[in-house]
């Protein structure tokens, strides 16, 4: 019976009246027993078959009249019932008493629930707390973006209705330099995030959300997502929120306890691997990007991450670019290297100038992942906004439309922008 | 009630906070921030003041996790009490600053505001923690303006049952109006320490 609101068993939620459309006409004139307003402007409903219409209708028994008091106070019964209740109240003191009380209680309900918690309040409150009493077991700074982004997405999920969990979402990414997409739902996106976060859980020795099942789950993000989606007997619902959130909480907790060395622990993604600190950053990035996809689908605003977190995300993408370029070169998707560079020495570079929130300057080594990016060896420059760069990396904007300012070696620019888009995946 | 966390969660959270685990503080915030902020906002009707109370309440819990006694109710109800107390203090101090000379009439006006704000905040708390079927029925009738027959159809129950739920829900809610003394735990926040 409580499949809807009680389903996730989560505490700290808002009253059901949050985020509600237009206000109901005031039901808060508490001075006197009111003449009850009938529903909207619709004609009163015809009475139900057991209550024959007309003046000949037998009076409703006391038991029924009493049971109608709640519906009456909420103006949620038919015109005939309303009249019968009000008639009854003139002669039954106990019911009149209760009617008043319930009517006053309706005045305590409210619909002005549009006040969403400012997502940035979390970091301010936590900082304030930690200033008063430093943590003995802090959350590592490299896990902070993941902690913040999962909390932000969770706050969005708390505010959406049951039906919105089934709103269609189109996931977009690049494959072989073509934008591709895939349809799923809000709940399907959360399942996707959970399945891929499971790579990190598994690496840390935590339970895999895909379970033990028959055989081990596929090792790649896409494979895991497909496995999760196809294993579900029914389309996923909001019940996916709790296991997703539990997993993200336990990841943050586990890395807090794990000590220094864990930052460099390798997290395998099937065909590549990332050190744990980059892996959680990548998960934070995905969480933000898909949070944005979900917000679009349910028509909510969704801001970019805090500047310091955004900058870490951009930095990760910039660090991944040289190896991606070289891989694309190997399969003929990027132009050949121009120079041989000795490992560790500066080589031909592209200056990535990121403006706005999370901005900064990065020098992308073009000829070899082992080379150092260098301002002195810049052959091309690309300028773009931080959020726009992230949208490019997420595969949400085509590379040819991405950069606001371009200067220098056009081939290098093209290769880097396409490599950035190819960092995206399902 | 469906919404109340199991006591085990409360005790464990208390231990983790006492141990100084920042991740636990984050989880605490994720679970209770909406409650604290909306209650404070209901009482103070001011976004900045509600932000401030939110900081103070979490600051207090983080610094004094041992002040929570699981024998006296859930952590959720404790946090709600702290929020209420802090908001009342704030209402009083604002009033004190604004009107240096406190006449009886002003004092009475202040008490009226405190009571009204308390009832409103308590009502939110009651709605948030009442059994889900009652809340769903109230939401259909009040927010979506369904009559009880439509609500019954939406919920897949009989008209009798829908009427029962609406009445019971309002009865629970009406306890928010019973006169509390401002510093004791009002009904609806669980047992008084």
Range of the domain at A23: 16-106
Over residues A366-393, mean pLDDT:
94
- Judged by DSSP in three states, A387 sits in helix
Q: What percent of chain A has pLDDT over 70?
A: 85
Q: How far is the alpha carbon of A151 from chain B, nearest alpha carbon, in Å?
A: 7
pLDDT band at A344 (very low <50, low <70, confident <90, very high): confident
- A83 with A53: CB under 8 angstroms? no
Token pair, residue B23, equals: 């991740």
**Lookup result for tokens 């909420």:** A74
Token pair, residue B182, equals: 């401002």
Q: How far is the alpha carbon of A308 from chain B, nearest alpha carbon, in Å?
A: 19
The domain that holds B157 is classified in CATH as 1.10.1740.10
Q: Do B141 and A45 touch (CB under 8 A)?
A: no
A/B interface, count of CB pairs below 8 Å:
227
Tell me the chain A residues in contact with residue B135 when contact means C-beta distances shorter than 8 Å: 5, 15-16
Question: Are residues A132 and A96 both part of a single domain?
Answer: no
- A146 with A391: CB under 8 angstroms? no
The predicted structure's pLDDT at residue B127: 87
- B188 with B126: CB under 8 angstroms? yes
Is residue B45 assigned to a domain?
A: yes
Question: Are residues A88 and A126 both part of a single domain?
Answer: no
The domain that holds A392 is classified in CATH as 3.30.1050
Residue B86 near chain A (CB below 8 Å) = no
Q: Write the pLDDT tens digit of every residue in A182-232.
A: 999 999 999 999 999 999 999 999 999 988 655 677 889 999 999 999 988
Range of the domain at B38: 7-177
Is residue A111 assigned to a domain?
A: no
Tell me the chain A residues in contact with residue B120 when contact means C-beta distances shorter than 8 Å: 108, 110
Question: Are residues A188 and A248 both part of a single domain?
Answer: yes
- Judged by DSSP in three states, B57 sits in helix
pLDDT band at A397 (very low <50, low <70, confident <90, very high): very high
User: Is A45's pLDDT higher than 50?
Assistant: no
pLDDT, greater one: A323 or B97: A323
Is residue B193 assigned to a domain?
A: no
Within 27-56 of B, beta carbons closer than 8 Å to A belong to 27, 29-35, 37-38, 41, 47, 51, 54-55
- Judged by DSSP in three states, A356 sits in coil
Nearest to A102 among B5, B30, B174 (CB): B174
Over residues A112-123, mean pLDDT:
76
Q: Least CA distance to A153: which residue of chain B?
A: B30
Q: Give the span between the Cα atoms of A382 and B8, in whole angstroms.
A: 55
Token pair, residue B95, equals: 């009033």
- B128 with B35: CB under 8 angstroms? yes
User: Is A58's pLDDT higher than 90?
Assistant: no
- B81 with B182: CB under 8 angstroms? no
Token pair, residue B91, equals: 């209402």
User: Is B24's pLDDT higher than 50?
Assistant: yes
Instruction: Indicate the residue among A303, A325, A346 that finishes a domain.
Output: A303
Question: Are residues A298 and A323 both part of a single domain?
Answer: no
Report residue A137: phi and psi, to 5°: -125, 90
Q: Write the pLDDT tens digit of every residue in B130-189.
A: 998 999 999 899 888 899 999 999 999 999 999 999 999 999 999 888 755 444 444 445
Q: Do B22 and A76 touch (CB under 8 A)?
A: no
Residue B183's alpha-carbon distances to A81, B35, B75, B90, in angstroms, are 42, 19, 18, 13
* Range list of H helices, A30-78: 62-67, 69-73
Q: Do A71 and B162 touch (CB under 8 A)?
A: yes
Over residues B32-54, mean pLDDT:
93
Within 167-186 of B, beta carbons closer than 8 Å to A belong to 167-171, 173-174, 176-177
User: Is B98's pLDDT higher than 70?
Assistant: no
According to DSSP, the β-strands at A178-185 and A266-268 are: unpaired
Q: Give the span between the Cα atoms of A259 and A33, in whole angstroms.
A: 66
The predicted structure's pLDDT at residue B97: 54
Q: Least CA distance to B30: which residue of chain A?
A: A151
Q: Give the span between the Cα atoms of A389 and A397, in whole angstroms.
A: 9
Question: Are residues A213 and A260 both part of a single domain?
Answer: yes
The predicted structure's pLDDT at residue B96: 66
Q: What angle do CA B178, B180, B184 make, to 5 degrees?
A: 145
A179: left (phi over 0), alpha (psi -120 to 50) or beta: beta
Is residue A263 assigned to a domain?
A: yes
Closest CA to B30 of A17, A157, A43, A228: A157
Nearest to A14 among B38, B59, B170 (CB): B38
Question: Are residues A336 and A403 both part of a single domain?
Answer: yes
Question: Are residues A140 and A260 both part of a single domain?
Answer: yes
Residue B135 near chain A (CB below 8 Å) = yes
Q: Is this model's pTM higher than 0.90 or not?
A: no
Is residue A65 assigned to a domain?
A: yes
Helices (H) and strands (E) in chain B, counts: 8, 0
Q: Give the span between the Cα atoms of A240 and A165, in whole angstroms.
A: 10
Beta bridge partners of A349: A365, A378
Closest CA to A274 of A423, A103, A88: A423
Q: Write the pLDDT tens digit of every residue in A257-279.
A: 997 889 999 999 998 999 999 99
- Judged by DSSP in three states, A33 sits in coil
Domain count along chain B: 1
Task: Return the percent helix, strand and coil in chain A, to nearest 5.
Answer: 45, 10, 40
Is residue A279 assigned to a domain?
A: yes
Among A35-39, A99-103, B21-25, name the most confident range.
B21-25
Is residue A285 assigned to a domain?
A: yes
Question: Taking the alpha carbons of B9, B11, B14, B18 in that order, is the dihedral positive or negative?
Answer: negative
**Lookup result for tokens 């490599």:** A419
Residue A205 DSSP symbol: T
Q: What angle do CA A396, A19, A82 make, to 5 degrees?
A: 145
Q: Least CA distance to B133: which residue of chain A?
A: A2
Closest CA to B148 of A81, A76, A64: A76
Is residue A190 assigned to a domain?
A: yes
Q: Give the span between the Cα atoms of B11 and A412, in whole angstroms.
A: 58
Is residue B158 assigned to a domain?
A: yes
Question: Are residues A335 and A408 both part of a single domain?
Answer: yes
Residues 6+ apart with CB under 8 A from B96: B102
pLDDT band at A107 (very low <50, low <70, confident <90, very high): confident
Mutate to test the interface with A, among B130, B166, B171, B180 (most CBs of A within 10 A): B166
pLDDT band at B99 (very low <50, low <70, confident <90, very high): low
Tell me the chain A residues in contact with residue B127 when contact means C-beta distances shorter than 8 Å: 15-17, 109
Q: Give the span between the Cα atoms of B129 and B4, in whole angstroms.
A: 7
What does pLDDT average to over chain A? 85
Tell me the chain B residues in contact with residue A39 when contact means C-beta distances shorter than 8 Å: 145, 147
Q: What angle do CA A215, A219, A221 make, to 5 degrees?
A: 130
Tell me the chain B residues in contact with residue A6 when contact means C-beta distances shorter than 8 Å: 2-3, 131-133
Question: Are residues A129 and A88 both part of a single domain?
Answer: no
Question: Are residues A360 and A416 both part of a single domain?
Answer: yes
Tell me the chain B residues in contact with residue A110 when contact means C-beta distances shorter than 8 Å: 120
pLDDT, greater one: A311 or A37: A311
Q: Do B166 and A2 touch (CB under 8 A)?
A: no
Q: Do A2 and B20 touch (CB under 8 A)?
A: no
Q: Do B143 and A24 touch (CB under 8 A)?
A: yes
Is residue B89 assigned to a domain?
A: yes
Integer-rounded Cα Rg, in Å, for chain A is 29
Question: Are residues A322 and A285 both part of a single domain?
Answer: no
Is residue B186 assigned to a domain?
A: no
The predicted structure's pLDDT at residue A20: 31
Q: How many CB atoms lie within 10 A of CB A421?
A: 25
Is residue A310 assigned to a domain?
A: no
Question: Are residues A193 and A281 both part of a single domain?
Answer: yes
The domain that holds A192 is classified in CATH as 1.20.120.450
Q: Give the span between the Cα atoms of A348 and B122, in whole angstroms.
A: 66
User: Is A330's pLDDT higher than 70?
Assistant: yes
Q: How far is the alpha carbon of A172 from chain B, nearest alpha carbon, in Å?
A: 30
Tell me the chain B residues in contact with residue A241 when contact means C-beta distances shorter than 8 Å: none
Integer-rounded Cα Rg, in Å, for chain B is 19
pLDDT band at A23 (very low <50, low <70, confident <90, very high): very low
User: Is A4's pLDDT higher than 50?
Assistant: no
Q: Do A16 and B138 touch (CB under 8 A)?
A: yes
Residue B146's alpha-carbon distances to A50, A100, A305, A370, B149, in angstroms, are 21, 21, 40, 67, 8
The predicted structure's pLDDT at residue B17: 98
Mutate to test the interface with B, among A3, A7, A8, A12 (most CBs of B within 10 A): A12
Domain count along chain A: 3
Helix axes A386-393, A276-297, angle to 10 degrees: 100
The predicted structure's pLDDT at residue B28: 97
Over residues A364-372, mean pLDDT:
92
Over residues A280-302, mean pLDDT:
96
């Amino acid at each position: 019976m409580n499949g809807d609101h009680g389903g996730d068993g989560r505490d700290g939620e808002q009253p059901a009246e949050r985020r509600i459309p237009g206000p109901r006409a005031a039901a808060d004139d508490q001075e006197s027993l009111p003449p009850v307003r009938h529903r909207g402007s619709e004609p009163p409903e015809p009475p139900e078959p057991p209550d024959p219409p007309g003046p000949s209708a037998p009076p409703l028994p006391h038991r029924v009249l009493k049971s109608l008091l709640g519906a009456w106070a909420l103006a949620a019964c038919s015109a005939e019932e309303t009249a019968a209740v009000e008639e009854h109240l003139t002669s039954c003191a106990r019911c009149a008493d209760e009617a008043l009380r319930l009517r006053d209680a309706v005045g305590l309900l409210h619909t002005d629930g549009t006040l969403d918690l400012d997502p940035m309040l979390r970091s301010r409150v936590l900082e304030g707390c930690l200033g008063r009493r430093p943590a003995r077991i802090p959350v590592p700074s490299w896990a902070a973006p993941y902690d913040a982004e999962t909390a932000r997405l969770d706050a969005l999920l708390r505010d959406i209705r049951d039906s919105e969990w089934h709103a269609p979402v189109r996931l977009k990414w690049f494959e072989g330099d073509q934008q591709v997409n895939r349809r799923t739902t809000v709940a399907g996106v959360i399942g996707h995030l959970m399945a891929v976060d499971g790579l990190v859980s598994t690496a840390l020795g935590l339970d895999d959300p895909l379970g033990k099942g028959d055989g081990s789950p596929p090792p790649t993000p896409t494979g895991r997502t497909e496995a999760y989606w196809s294993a579900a007997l029914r389309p996923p619902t909001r019940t996916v929120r709790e296991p997703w959130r539990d997993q993200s909480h336990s990841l943050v907790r586990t890395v807090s306890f794990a000590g220094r060395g864990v930052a460099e622990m390798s997290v395998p993604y099937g065909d590549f691997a990332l050190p744990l600190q980059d892996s959680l950053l990548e998960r934070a990035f995905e969480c933000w990007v898909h949070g944005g996809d979900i917000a679009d689908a349910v028509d909510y605003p969704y801001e970019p991450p805090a500047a310091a977190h955004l900058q870490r995300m951009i930095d990760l993408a910039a660090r991944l670019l040289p190896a991606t370029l070289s891989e694309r070169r190997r399969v003929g998707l990027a132009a050949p290297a121009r120079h041989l560079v000795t490992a560790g020495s500066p080589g031909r570079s592209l200056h990535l100038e990121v403006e706005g929130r999370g901005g900064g300057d990065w020098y992308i080594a073009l000829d070899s992942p082992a080379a150092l990016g260098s301002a002195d060896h810049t052959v091309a420059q690309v300028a773009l906004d931080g959020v726009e760069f992230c949208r490019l990396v997420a595969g949400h904007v085509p590379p040819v439309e991405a950069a606001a300012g371009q200067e220098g070696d056009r081939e290098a620019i093209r290769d880097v922008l396409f490599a950035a888009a190819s960092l995206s995946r399902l | 009630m469906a919404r109340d966390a199991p006591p085990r969660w409360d005790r464990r959270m208390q231990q983790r906070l006492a141990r100084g685990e920042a991740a636990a503080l984050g989880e605490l915030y994720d679970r209770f921030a909406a409650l604290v902020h909306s209650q404070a906002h209901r009482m103070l009707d001011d976004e900045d003041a509600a932000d401030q109370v939110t900081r103070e309440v979490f600051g207090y819990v983080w610094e004094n996790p041992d002040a929570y006694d699981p024998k006296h109710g859930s952590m959720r109800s404790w946090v709600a009490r702290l929020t209420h107390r802090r908001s009342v203090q704030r209402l009083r101090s604002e009033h004190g600053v604004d009107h240096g000379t406190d006449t009886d009439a002003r004092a009475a006006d202040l008490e009226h505001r405190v009571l009204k704000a308390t009832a409103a905040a308590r009502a939110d708390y009651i709605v948030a923690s009442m059994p889900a079927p009652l809340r769903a029925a109230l939401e259909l009738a009040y927010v979506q303006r369904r009559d009880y027959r439509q609500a019954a159809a939406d919920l897949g129950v009989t008209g009798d049952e829908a009427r029962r739920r609406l009445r019971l829900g309002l009865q629970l809610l009406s306890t928010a109006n019973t006169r509390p003394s401002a510093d004791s735990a009002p009904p609806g926040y669980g047992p008084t320490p």
